[in-house]
Amino acid sequence: MEKNPPNQMPESQALGEKSSEQRSFAEAIRTLANSGMSVVLAESYSRGPLPSPEALEKYQQVSPEALSLILREYDEEGTHRRNSERLIISDRVLMARLGLLAAFLITILFLAAGFYLILHGHDVAGASICGAGLVSVVIAFLRHTSSSSSSNGKK
């Protein structure tokens, strides 16, 4: 017998054939309907982090602590999610600040090296190093600005 992956109906059901369970259920419904009884089928669907109010009421009937446990878990999950998001955001801010500090220090290093060379008679080399340091910072700034504006436009 061929096994199906979870949450996937067998091919025979997909083609419209009924399983024995479905046939017996359908026969029971027909028998009740033929006997003059009314048959009401109801289906409930709940979407979201909490069960439906009806389901919560049933949990409460099974165990008096169930409702408080479900609500406490829901609250703890929300607190955890908010704390995780806060940590991710603060890490991104820290990385951005460290990137700015590193760019500033590298620029100062290039400028200092260039001025040192200029003061010691190497005008062309000093000017080239100063210019390279400034140009690299400008290029990095422009790339960051254009990538930020394009990612904002995609959202």
Tell whether the model's pLDDT for residue 60 goes beyond 60: yes
DSSP 4-49: PPTT---HHHHTTPPPHHHHHHHHHHHHHHHTT-----------SS
Report the length, in residues, of the chain: 155
The answer to whether the beta carbons of residues 129 and 107 sit under 8 Å apart is no
Q: What gap in Å lies between CA 145 and CA 141, rounded to an integer?
A: 6
Q: What angle do CA 43, 44, 50 make, to 5 degrees?
A: 165
Residue-range domain boundaries for the chain: 10-40, 51-84, 93-150
The answer to whether the beta carbons of residues 59 and 66 sit under 8 Å apart is yes
Tell whether the model's pLDDT for residue 155 goes beyond 70: no
pTM (two decimals): 0.51
**What is the per-residue pLDDT across 66-120, written as a single tens digit (0 to 9) for each?**
888 888 998 999 999 999 999 999 999 999 899 888 888 888 999 999 999 999 9
For the chain, what is the mean pLDDT? 80
The answer to whether the beta carbons of residues 10 and 3 sit under 8 Å apart is no
Supply the DSSP symbol for 155.
-
- 63 confidence band (pLDDT: 50, 70, 90): confident
Residue of 1 and 42 predicted with greater confidence: 42
